[in-house]
């Protein structure tokens, strides 16, 4: 009986220790998954790559998309610097191929207190045009003197859009002559003409031109 009790005590001790280690990982505790179509992702089972950045998440998202990766979620918390290995452990659990760490000092906070952000990325399938879009703000439309258009925020390098020469910062005004006043309209037009050689009306550096874009 004493041996059984000892074994049970050891089992519960190890279990509780594992739970404590799990709950003490702030990258897991404060993780929020992004809403997305996970069928767009390629399963990844290797060792996640750790990246560091002094920039912001939007810039990192742009760069990673250009390389063929999508953000699947992020963690953010304040406090003393945490071990980077904890971020890698959680990335491995998520099936993420990359984890990008950003840290900035807390304003008017303690000397060793930082806002710590970890963005988790996974490889994406090569489908569609290879564009990441953003709505065009009203003040930008007014400044440019246009009523329609969507901002091309990022272009995947190995995509149809990348090979066609589209660039981040371009503004797509129309698809096959049909104005695209919003992101939903642009996406609907691209889907409508899927499988064809489309013609995009592009505004770049004050110049308007037509760019061919096959979408499959």
Taking the domains of the chain in order of start, what are their residue ranges? 2-123, 131-214
Please state, in angstroms and rounded to a whole number, the distance separating the CA atoms of residues 184 and 1: 69
Q: Which two tokens stand for residue 89?
A: 């452990």
**186 closest CA partner among 199, 202, 170, 175:** 175
Q: Which residue has the tokens 């129309």?
A: 174
Fold of the domain built from segment(s) 131-214: Pdz3 Domain (2.30.42)
Q: Which two tokens stand for residue 167?
A: 């660039």
* pLDDT tens for each residue of 67-125: 999 999 999 999 989 999 999 999 999 999 999 999 888 877 667 788 999 999 999 99
Please state, in angstroms and rounded to a whole number, the distance separating the CA atoms of residues 118 and 85: 12
Which of 112 and 179 is assigned the larger pLDDT? 179
pLDDT computed for residue 126 by the predictor = 85
Q: Which residue has the tokens 């890698």?
A: 88
pLDDT computed for residue 128 by the predictor = 78
Please, which pLDDT band fits residue 55 given cuts at 50, 70 and 90?
A: confident
Q: Which residue has the tokens 């220790």?
A: 17
pLDDT computed for residue 89 by the predictor = 97
pLDDT computed for residue 186 by the predictor = 92
pLDDT computed for residue 21 by the predictor = 47
Please state, in angstroms and rounded to a whole number, the distance separating the CA atoms of residues 90 and 77: 15
Q: Which two tokens stand for residue 182?
A: 């919003």
What mean pLDDT comes out for the span 141-145? Answer: 91
Burial of 7 (0-12, 13-18, 19+ CB in 10 A): exposed
**188 closest CA partner among 196, 199, 180, 197:** 180
Please state, in angstroms and rounded to a whole number, the distance separating the CA atoms of residues 156 and 142: 29
Pairing of strands 197-204, 171-175: antiparallel
Helix H or strand E segment including 73: strand 69-79
Please, which pLDDT band fits residue 5 given cuts at 50, 70 and 90?
A: very low
What is the separation, in whole angstroms, between the first and last Cα of the chain? 69
Please, which pLDDT band fits residue 194 given cuts at 50, 70 and 90?
A: confident
Q: In whole numbers, what is the pLDDT of the chain averaged over residues?
A: 86
Please state, in angstroms and rounded to a whole number, the distance separating the CA atoms of residues 29 and 171: 39
Assessment of whether the complete model's pTM goes beyond 0.85: no
* pLDDT tens for each residue of 10-36: 333 433 444 444 559 999 999 999 999
Cβ(133)–Cβ(157) below 8 Å? no
pLDDT computed for residue 85 by the predictor = 96
């Amino acid at each position: 009986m004493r041996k059984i009790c000892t074994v049970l005590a050891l089992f519960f001790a190890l279990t509780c220790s594992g739970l404590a280690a799990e709950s003490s990982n702030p990258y897991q505790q404060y993780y929020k998954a992004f809403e997305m179509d996970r069928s767009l992702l390629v399963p990844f089972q290797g060792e996640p790559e750790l990246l560091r950045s002094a920039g912001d998440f939007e810039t990192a998202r742009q760069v990673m998309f250009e390389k063929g990766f999508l953000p699947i979620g992020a963690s953010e918390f304040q406090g003393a610097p945490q071990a980077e290995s904890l971020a890698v452990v959680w990335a491995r659990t998520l099936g993420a191929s990359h984890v990008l760490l950003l840290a900035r000092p807390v304003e008017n906070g303690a000397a060793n207190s930082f806002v710590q952000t970890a963005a988790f990325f996974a490889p994406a399938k090569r489908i569609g045009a290879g564009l990441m879009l953003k709505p065009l703000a009203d003040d930008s439309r007014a400044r440019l003197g246009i009523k329609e258009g969507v901002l091309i925020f990022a272009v995947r390098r190995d995509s149809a859009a990348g090979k066609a020469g589209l660039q981040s910062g371009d503004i797509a005004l129309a698809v096959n002559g049909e104005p695209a006043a919003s992101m939903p309209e642009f996406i609907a037009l691209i889907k409508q003409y899927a499988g064809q050689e489309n013609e995009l009306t592009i505004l770049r550096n004050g110049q308007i031109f037509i760019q061919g874009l096959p979408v499959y």
